[in-house]
A = this chain, B = another copy of it.
Amino acid sequence: MKVSALLTSAGINIGLCVLLWFLYSILRKQPGNVCVYFGRRLAQGRIGFDNPICFDRLFPSPSWIVKAWATSEEEILAVGGLDAVVFLRILVFSIRIFSIAAVVCLLLVLPLNYFGQEMIHKQIPSESLDVFTIANVKEGSRWLWAHCLALYIISFSACLLLYFEYRSIAKLRLAHITKSSPNPSHFTILVRSIPWSAEESYGDSVKKFFMNYHASSYLSHQMVYHSGTIQKLMDDAEKMYKKLAELKNTAANQMCEPSLVRCGLCGEMTNSFKLLANEAESVHDKEKPVLDQLKSDLKEKESGAAFVFFKTRYAAIVASHVLQSPNPMLWVTDLAPGPHDVYWSNLWIPYRQLWIRKIATLVAATVFMFLFLIPVTFVQGLSQLDQLQQMLPFLKGLLKKKFVDEVVTGYLPSVILMLFLLSVPPMMMLFSAIEGNISRSGRKRSACCKVLYFLIWNVFFVNVLSGSVISQINAISSPKDIPTQLAKVVPRQATFFMTYVLTSGWVGLSSEVMQLYALICNFFNRYILWKKEVSPDYILSFPYHTEVPKVLLFGLLGFTCSILAPLILPFLLVYYFLGYIVYRNQFLNVYVTKYESGGQFWPIAHNTTIFSLVLSQIIAIGVFGLKRSPIASGFTFPLVILTLLFNEYCRQRFFPIFKSYSAQDFIEMDRQDEASGRMEEIYEQLLSAYCQFSAASTENFKTQDSVRSDGNHDSEDMNSGEAAICMRKLWMLQCISGKEDDNKH
């Protein structure tokens, strides 16, 4: 590929980007698109729909860029949570390290590459891009120490920056935990695999177990019901309610005060309905068989999982960490996810299935990863013009035209690849859901890892290896040859990666800011279906599982290509700068944060960066070997070891903070709350925090959104009307079963 082809590609992409940003600047001002571009504000009710039509609406303005740029980290933290801050920190880290890399490589390495061979240079535009890569350096050149030095500088700066980032994010996480308002998940554990017994229900077993072994700290519990049966139960309750309504006319009128509404199908319903106890006596005889029926129904629907609430955070963390039963497959405890973070439909999965589910999804994801080779190899074929001509001989005339040539080699392959890649995140989300994650954030994190492995394998390795070898499987099976093989082909594939940054990176960002899919849906709804009301389905949570891997993949490309083909770095820097603006804007305006993982994406980013560093060092060793510079090769070895040691140190020093909470923090928090007398209030909130019901009733909503191309089907906002119905049904159900419970006590 020639410089002019690259410039053409860059030109097309810059044009596309400018066009899209221009369009965005106008479209965002249209009142009809409010639900597309201001979902978050809409959810908070902080924006109106009907702005007056004014002249300003028809002109683009860069004010949003200024706004996104000027927003402080505190605001982002308040708006998007810690995960958003961590994501932006990944971008900032990338900008910093690639700025350093760009300075070092463009000043030191690029000239050496360009003047590496004694040759007559053509004019720059018609120069091959290979001239700018390390492939142009003579074998046995003495100047390779400069490449080695550049690698050292990049590696050391990267480690230093990583260390400071890890430290500061760990601090942020600790502050986030200790300084936030009381979080129900800190007081709650999820117990799974409750042993089944013929004599007592799951609920009674839970109560008995925790009253026995954790008597001093046990507060209450809430059973998890088999998903799907809830709806049926609610229908039953409604019928029952109608029957009872007639009976109740003879009884006291205050019964079932709406003010008693409490969320959650708690097994422990002793508090809420005390006032019913006396008044209901009279109706009791008549309704008894009906109630008994309902109660036994309810007990039958209980699954072997429950949320258990504790009086202190420390008690909860203790119960979640310690092996409860001598049979490790029973009474399995974990800290509960946050109320909005719970992935209800996975909770009732029998615990003994989980390990086999994990293995099965791992195998499925791996198979998917390898089957994906087929379209990618095809795409790779497209980028090699002569192969395309052979395959489709009738195109010969067309392909000989210079412009078409440049478009095909520089642009088309990446676009096709990108389209294929769009199908990956939903697949991985599906795998992660089947895997049995108990939290939405856990599912997203798991999908994030899967997408990341997928991208690294399919975009980097397969492209690199299939560029030279047809059967990639051979490549994995001889690990010894991989460095040499990579060293041979990575510099050659650098041009492909540059175009990949342009298409997938730049244009990807622009389409992210445009929200094309949501925009089209909105247009369709408004002007084809003539729906006037704004549906809140578009209010999405941030797709970390697609964006984090993307950003990290570009990091991988940057590190591996930096000393081999430094020309990629300016393109990459532009990508990261654009990303910084775009994602800040999106966090502020578009996405809603309903749940978060508390910065747990950072360890993924850290590990991936270390992997990228080590990979680039290994490739460098291979390259130095090929260039017959054993000294440079030898000097790079210690760098690999130092990088790995650094990683191990960080794993020891920081990683446990992201895995668990510390006793010291939790005890201090408990003490503060006890001292301020807030505990009672917290307990009350706690008992109504986990609400399987509302989630179940919104399962219907979810499907509307699940077709979205990036697999981001997480919008469980409830329509207020539906919510009201749900609450009413729930209240009825509780009236019925709660009263019965009370009579017993």
Contact = CB atoms under 8 A, between A and B. Distances in A.
A430 interface: no
B480 A324 contact: no
B213 A657 contact: no
A325 interface: yes
Nearest to A651: B355
A663 B213 contact: yes
B359 A323 contact: no
A322 B663 contact: yes
B664 A325 contact: yes
A288 interface: no
A323 B660 contact: yes
A656 B323 CA distance: 8
A740 B477 CA distance: 70
Given A318-B322, A326-B665, A328-B656, 16 more contacts: A213-B663, A317-B322, A318-B318, A318-B321, A321-B322, A323-B656, A323-B662, A324-B662, A325-B662, A328-B652, A328-B655, A352-B652, A356-B645, A359-B645, A478-B480, A479-B479
Interface string A647-668: 0110011111100111111010
A355 B652 contact: yes
Given A328-B657, A329-B652, A480-B478, A213 B355 contact: no
A329 to B, nearest CB: 6
Name the prevailing secondary structure of the A interface residues: helix
Interface of A: 174, 213, 317-318, 321-329, 331, 352, 355-356, 359, 477-481, 645, 648-649, 652-657, 660-665, 667
A329 B663 contact: no
Nearest to A329: B653
9 contacts: A317-B322, A318-B321, A322-B660, A322-B662, A323-B656, A325-B662, A325-B664, A328-B652, A328-B656
Nearest to A656: B328
A169 to B, nearest CB: 13
- Please name the 8 residue pairs, one residue from A and one from B, whose CB atoms are nearest each other, closest first: A477-B480, A328-B656, A321-B321, A326-B662, A322-B663, A323-B662, A478-B478, A323-B660
Given A318-B322, A321-B321, A648-B355, A328 B664 contact: no
A603 to B, nearest CB: 13
Nearest to A214: B663
Given A318-B318, A477-B478, A667-B213, A649 B324 contact: no
A329 B174 CA distance: 15
Nearest to A480: B477
Contact of A328 (B328, B329, B356, B653): B653
A450 B174 CA distance: 39
Nearest to A660: B323
A654 B328 contact: yes
A657 B654 CA distance: 28
B664 A324 contact: yes
B325 A213 contact: no
A322 B318 CA distance: 7
A344 to B, nearest CB: 24
A537 to B, nearest CB: 40
Contacts of A356: 645, 648
Contacts of A321: 318, 321-322
A325 B328 CA distance: 27
Contacts of A329: 652-653
B213 A323 contact: no
Nearest to A354: B652
A658 to B, nearest CB: 10
A523 to B, nearest CB: 50
A477 B321 CA distance: 41
Contacts of A359: 645, 648
